[in-house]
């Protein structure tokens, strides 16, 4: 009886641990900060337009008090409703209302307006560089493995409901992005949290503590027990978080770091005098701008932007974005991530190079027997190259044209465009968007050599089972390039691939040989078993050839001299 009770209690406790997030609140910002700008009267409803509700009493509420709390908690928007309810949020995604509907005085200062019935008077922090509609999930960079649930509660307070059995990091990032949150974290294989600031006591721990595979994609890690795989989109952080001090030397541009938003924590409730000029109106100009950023060539950064049109009328903006397709070619459990659109031969060739980098991850993650189809994927990459060389030579061409001609296998249907409404960005923003990761598309020419054997019938262009030697070529991520200019492309997300210094190219090739050997056994030998084999060799013969190829591969690549390849970032790969 008692034992059962204890077990139930433990079960209930662990359920609680993993299902509930406490919505922590930092104190109002007491340091001077740039005043928020009035953005208009917006509709509130259910769910709330701004999801953070202040615990301050509404009895004494003023615009200054609400704004200071939102600033202290890293939010871009502050909203006041019904005489003094104070809310904060990272996006506003609800219709603008007639100004007349925000007509109630604030309890704490009756010369100020505190919204209306289901209507919010919204103020905006002008120090944010980018609107969430212009941020892609690729802009979220992994920070590592962090603790959750310290003495002060959760590290990230906003839990997202995502179907657990198909859970992937991309879904979590996209859910946090949609609500404008700069921080996102995955935990326990299936949980997603977002936040505008990190909770106290959030500390980095060894990567091995984030050891749980994602339920919907075992090739990726989704935290651990009370451990978060943490991500940040720095574009969604204020350039001047609470506690920011303007630089004395104006030539330094500092990008806020993850921890700088957690400064200021004294407990007095005095509101600084600097926040009183919050009645500045946004300009009434009407501009229409349309931005279509094409993907980049080999030498320029390839941070993908998706077509988005911004229409500005008065103080309400709408933006329409077409979300990237996270599965454009599917083989078993593996998906090729989004390819950027293209119009020119060079951009087309970049798509082919990107495709070539993905072949090994297909073999590695598709799972047998589906992995047999990776051969098809590999030859489809070749088709893209064909398209570039024939249909793009001196003509305009497109991804759509290419994919119509050479159909990708089982892609997910395209996602419908999403339209969002938000208060227009204020004009005082400095647009210093520093991209944190810059990638290039390296030439997919392997620095490792496929060995040859007449006896066992393999050689360049004819590896055992058609499974090519995994690609080792220039590192595509700038931050890694200076110390480790080479990379073994085995993962769909190249941030997760192993990279190597120029003195360890032989190690890189050794790892490539091993990877090829694994895939040879897992896919080719399996496919020769009686259940599959029709006219192929016996499994034992197949195994013998895989092993012989592996041993030859190690010998062939015992001394790899990269010569002058991958010497300079962005110079592509010089053939020697
Ligand atoms: C963080 O710690 C400070 C100082 O101990 C405290 O004042 C503050 O309320 C804490 N914040 C949260 C969100 O727990
Ligand atoms: C409101 O402010 C007044 C004066 O500043 C103070 O005396 C009072 O206790 C406050 N009331 C609440 C509910 O905070
Ligand atoms: C009330 O708000 C007005 C307008 O923002 C401001 O000028 C005034 O100083 C405020 N009064 C108090 C007592 O804070």
Q: Which residue has the higher pLDDT, 464 or 492?
A: 464
Q: What is the pLDDT of residues 258-285, one digit of tens each?
A: 333 333 333 322 222 223 233 222 333 2
Q: Which residues have a Cβ under 8 Å from the Cβ of 552 and sit 6 or more positions away?
A: 451, 452, 453
Phi first, then psi, for residue 208 (nearest 5°) are -70, -15
Kindly report which listed range (27-41, 240-254, 483-497) carries the lowest average pLDDT score: 240-254
Q: What is the pLDDT of residues 43-57, one digit of tens each?
A: 999 889 999 999 999
Q: Which residues have a Cβ under 8 Å from the Cβ of 130 and sit 6 or more positions away?
A: 235, 236, 433
**How far away, in angstroms, is 265 Cα from ligand 1 center?**
6
What are all long-range contacts of 482-488, with beta carbons under 8 Å and residues at least 24 apart? 482/569, 485/566, 485/567, 486/447, 486/562, 486/566, 488/512, 488/515
Q: What is the pLDDT of residues 549-562, one digit of tens each?
A: 999 999 999 999 88
Structural tokens at position 270: 């005095």
Q: How confident is the model at residue 432 (pLDDT cuts 50, 70, 90)?
A: very low
Across all residues in the chain, what is the average pLDDT?
81
Report the half-sphere exposure of 453 (CA within 13 A, side-chain side). Answer: 18
* pLDDT over 70 percentage in the chain: 79
Mutate to test the pocket of ligand 3, among 112, 275, 279 (most ligand atoms within 8 A of CB): 112
Q: What is the pLDDT of residues 508-546, one digit of tens each?
A: 999 999 999 999 999 999 988 887 766 678 899 999 999
Residue 296 confidence (pLDDT) above 50: no
Mean pLDDT of 114-141: 93
409 lines ligand 2 (CB under 6 A): no
**How far away, in angstroms, is 62 Cα from ligand 3 center?**
9
Contact 149, 122 (CB under 8 A): no
Structural tokens at position 515: 């990877």
Kindly report which listed range (73-77, 302-306, 328-332, 425-429) carries the lowest average pLDDT score: 302-306
Mutate to test the pocket of ligand 2, among 60, 62, 106, 271 (most ligand atoms within 8 A of CB): 60
Kindly report which listed range (107-116, 135-144, 415-424) carries the lowest average pLDDT score: 415-424
Mutate to test the pocket of ligand 3, among 276, 277, 278, 280 (most ligand atoms within 8 A of CB): 276
**How far away, in angstroms, is 555 Cα from ligand 3 center?**
80
Residue 308 confidence (pLDDT) above 70: no
Kindly report which listed range (58-62, 337-341, 485-489) carries the lowest average pLDDT score: 337-341
Per-residue confidence (pLDDT) for residue 485, from 0 to 100: 92
- Ligand number, closest to the Cα atom of 199: 1
- Residue whose CA is at the smallest distance from ligand 1 atom 11: 26
Kindly report which listed range (161-170, 230-239, 277-286) carries the lowest average pLDDT score: 277-286
575 lines ligand 2 (CB under 6 A): no
Element (H, E) at 496: none
Backbone region of residue 90 per phi and psi (left: phi > 0; alpha: psi in -120 to 50; beta: other values) = alpha
CA angle 73, 77, 80 (to 5 degrees): 100
111 lines ligand 3 (CB under 6 A): yes
- Ligand number, closest to the Cα atom of 277: 3
Angle between helices 505-519 and 345-365 (to 10 degrees): 60
Kindly give the number of the ligand 1 atom that is closest to the alpha carbon of 267. 7
Task: Return d(Cα 183, Cα 177) in angstroms, integer.
Answer: 9
Longest alpha-carbon distance in the chain: 92
270 lines ligand 2 (CB under 6 A): no
pTM of the entire structure? 0.56
57 lines ligand 2 (CB under 6 A): yes
Per-residue confidence (pLDDT) for residue 536, from 0 to 100: 77
Kindly report which listed range (74-78, 420-424, 499-503) carries the lowest average pLDDT score: 420-424
59 lines ligand 2 (CB under 6 A): yes
């Amino acid at each position: 009886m008692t034992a059962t009770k204890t077990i139930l209690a433990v079960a209930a406790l662990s359920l609680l641990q993993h299902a509930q997030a406490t919505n922590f609140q930092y104190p109002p910002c007491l340091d001077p900060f740039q005043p928020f700008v009035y953005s208009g009267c917006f509709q509130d409803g259910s769910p709330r337009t701004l999801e953070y509700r202040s615990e301050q009493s509404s009895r004494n509420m003023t615009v200054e008090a609400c704004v200071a709390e939102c600033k202290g908690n890293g939010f871009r928007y502050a909203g006041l409703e019904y005489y003094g309810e104070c809310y904060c949020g990272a996006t506003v995604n609800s219709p603008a209302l007639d100004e007349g509907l925000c007509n109630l005085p604030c309890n704490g200062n009756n010369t100020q307006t505190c919204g209306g019935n289901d209507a919010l008077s919204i103020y905006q922090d002008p120090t944010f560089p980018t609107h969430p509609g212009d941020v892609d999930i690729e802009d979220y960079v992994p920070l590592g493995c962090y603790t959750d649930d310290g003495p002060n509660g959760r590290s990230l307070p906003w839990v997202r409901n995502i179907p657990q059995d198909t859970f992937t990091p991309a879904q979590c990032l996209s859910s946090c992005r949609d609500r404008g949150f700069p921080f996102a974290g995955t935990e326990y294989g299936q949980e997603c949290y977002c936040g505008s600031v990190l909770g106290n006591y959030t500390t980095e721990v060894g990567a091995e503590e984030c050891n749980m595979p994602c339920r919907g994609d075992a090739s990726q890690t989704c935290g651990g027990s009370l451990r978060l795989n943490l991500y940040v989109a720095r574009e969604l952080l204020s350039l001047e978080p609470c506690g920011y001090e303007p630089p004395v030397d104006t030539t330094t541009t500092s990008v806020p770091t993850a921890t700088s938003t957690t400064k200021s924590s004294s407990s007095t409730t005095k509101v600084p005098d600097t926040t009183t000029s919050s009645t500045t109106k946004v300009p009434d100009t009407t501009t229409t701008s349309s931005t279509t950023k094409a993907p980049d060539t080999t030498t320029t950064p390839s941070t993908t932007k998706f077509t988005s049109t911004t229409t500005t009328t008065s103080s309400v903006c709408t933006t329409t974005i077409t979300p990237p397709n996270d599965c454009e070619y599917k083989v078993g459990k593996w998906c090729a991530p989004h390819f950027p659109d293209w119009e020119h031969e060079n951009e087309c060739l970049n798509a082919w190079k990107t495709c070539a980098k993905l072949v090994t991850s297909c073999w590695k993650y598709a799972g047998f027997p589906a992995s047999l189809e990776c051969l098809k994927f590999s030859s489809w990459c070749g088709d893209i190259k064909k398209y570039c060389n024939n249909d793009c030579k001196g003509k305009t061409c497109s991804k759509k044209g290419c994919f119509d001609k050479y159909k990708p296998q089982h892609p997910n249907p395209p996602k419908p465009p999403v339209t969002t409404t938000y208060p227009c960005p204020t004009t005082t923003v400095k647009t210093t968007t520093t991209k944190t990761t810059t990638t290039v598309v390296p030439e997919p020419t392997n620095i490792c050599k496929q060995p040859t054997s007449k006896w066992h019938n393999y050689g360049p262009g004819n590896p055992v089972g058609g499974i090519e030697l995994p690609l080792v070529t220039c590192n595509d991520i700038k931050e890694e390039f200076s110390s480790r200019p080479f990379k073994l492309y085995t993962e769909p997300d190249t941030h997760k691939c192993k990279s190597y210094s120029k003195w360890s190219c032989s190690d890189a090739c050794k790892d490539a040989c091993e990877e090829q050997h694994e895939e040879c056994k897992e896919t080719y030998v399996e496919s020769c078993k009686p259940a599959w084999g029709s006219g192929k060799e016996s499994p034992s013969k197949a195994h013998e050839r895989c092993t012989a190829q592996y041993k030859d591969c190690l010998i062939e690549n015992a001394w790899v001299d990269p010569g002058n390849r991958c010497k300079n970032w962005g110079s592509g790969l010089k053939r020697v």
